Amino acid sequence: MKQRLKTEEDRQSAISFIKYMDLNKAHRLTIVQIRHKRSIDQNSLLWLWLTALERDSETGYTKDDFYQMFLELFAPRKLVFSKACIISSSNMNTLEMTMFLHHIQYWTIQTLSFQLPDPDNYKFDEFLEHYKYYM
């Protein structure tokens, strides 16, 4: 049985199911927290920021250069055959992508003195309006 637990009713249903299982037979119970992949909004924000850096950071880097550099610097690693491999942004979940974006934001202000506003910032609409035509 696979069941998604989102409500108290779901929880009680699962508890009841387990409570009345036949203990004369072996069972395996696995509970896994569901993590969603990163949102399209996060991906759009990432590429908006990379576009801004390409156009106005005066580094000569393209947005793809920045993307690869940020993956090397900040992306989570996954062990594959005992080797740490970088996870691309398309394979990050929402939490991993959030952390990735925060690291980029901090790095650009510290290293380039370049402000990348997030959508909650009052200057974000102006930022978006300026760069959206270059994407």
The per-residue pLDDT for range 42-59, each reduced to its tens digit, is 999 999 999 999 999 999
Residue 30 lies in a domain: no
45 within 8 A of 128, measured Cβ to Cβ: no
94 within 8 A of 35, measured Cβ to Cβ: yes
For residue 78, the cross-strand partners are 85
Q: Which domain holds residue 82?
A: 40-134
Residue 2 lies in a domain: no
Residue 34 lies in a domain: no
Residue 107 lies in a domain: yes
Query: For 78-97, how does the pLDDT look when each residue is reduced to its tens digit (9 = 90+)?
Result: 888 888 899 999 999 999 99
Residue 16 lies in a domain: no
Confidence band (pLDDT; 50, 70, 90) for 35? low
- Give the count of domains, the chain: 1
Residue 29 lies in a domain: no
What gap in Å lies between CA 95 and CA 51, rounded to an integer?
A: 23
Residue 71 lies in a domain: yes
- How many Cβ atoms sit within 10 Å of the Cβ of residue 86? 14
Residue 118 lies in a domain: yes
- What's the token pair of residue 30? 């696995």
Confidence band (pLDDT; 50, 70, 90) for 2? confident
